[in-house]
Structure 1
Amino acid sequence: MKHPFYQKTKKEQRNVQIKVGLLALTIIIIFSVIGFVANLYLLPALLFPIVITIIAPFLDVPVMVEKGKLTYQSLLLLTENGQDGIIKLHGGTLLDYVYVIDSNWNAQQRKQFIIKEFLNGLINLIDEQKEKKDLDIKIKGTSYILNERTAEKLGFKVVKKDFLQQAILIFNYFNLLVTNSIGKGRLSFPVMKQIITIEANISTLLAKEYEIRALKNKIEND
């Protein structure tokens, strides 16, 4: 797995982060001035959290990866060891979408690539847990890539989002907007009710391993 961002040297990665940070600071300053001149004093206060959520993946994801808190199972699937032994699934971040999705791809090519990388990551996670012989461990995450039918076909159970998950999704709406738009190759507003929470035991996914691999192969051969 060759992720273009992590193929860069540490110095090059830091330079990217500095540029992103400076761009964000410039935007905030410009809109702060506009807000002051136009007597729109709430404008910078509203803009600040939006900008922060958009740039956050470029700053915190590499740090969490370096510290071992996040693990790339594929280019667009990360895992995090949560509390009570639950493995948290994270779809590709905005950082990943910017670096691994080819801007020349059409919407269908992007969709197929995103799903394929999710399945690749899932297979790698299953193989990893098989080696550890830890098949009862639970994995959980949110997804706007899979619909309920596909998720259940792969062995996941769709569960109701709790309050914290809802709050996090709402707070990160503009991050999701940019990520979703890159994923579809056009401006695309995420529909919050279509974002599902999924969970499964590794043993359940193992029982569906054939279907997971078959779907991945089908996408690769299309």
Structure 2
Amino acid sequence: MRIDANPTAVSAPQAARRDEFILRPATGIVDGVPRLEAMHALTEDQLRASFRNAEPDEVAEIAMPHDLLLAEWDYLDFFAWRDPIAARSGYIVIEQDGEAVGIVLRAADPSRVRSGMCNLCHTMQPGNQVALFAARRGGPEGRKGSVVGTYICADLSCHESVRLAPPLAPNEIRAERLADRRLDGTHRRVHAFVASVLGDSA
């Protein structure tokens, strides 16, 4: 998942709604405010080893993103992608206490609503760009069929969506540190979602 500073790289609906792409590291200090730490670069083997709510045979079938080698880890608070082969499968990997922790997701049928909000990055999207994802819980609960679901950007590009600033109205001034609040809020919600899926098995 490559983060591109060129606004023309986003889809037409996104470009129509936003006019600024915020590109800043996910680590260090920005305007005197400490930023959350970026992820360490992960290999394919490390990504596969991170999944906590999938059986070994399921993990073996996971297809890595085609642009894995191009991932700009300094700009990632988490890593997420849709499976390029298994169309309904998706994956989120976070870094927790220096260790990669991942969950496997499965998308429901496409929504027919006109628009919806991603519950991770809080971005309003057209109905076909937000999807209900379910993740099997970790541990015994998951083996009994218990799942956790939420609405997420359909392509799991929350880390890019949150960097697309909404257009300003005439004479409007962008709120101070808006980008930092959006990035940090997304980070917290992603980690909270992963924790709700894995519970004590994390």
TM-score > 0.5, shorter chain as reference: no
Greater fraction of residues in helix: 1
Q: TM-score, normalised by structure 2?
A: 0.24
Q: TM-score, normalised by structure 1?
A: 0.22
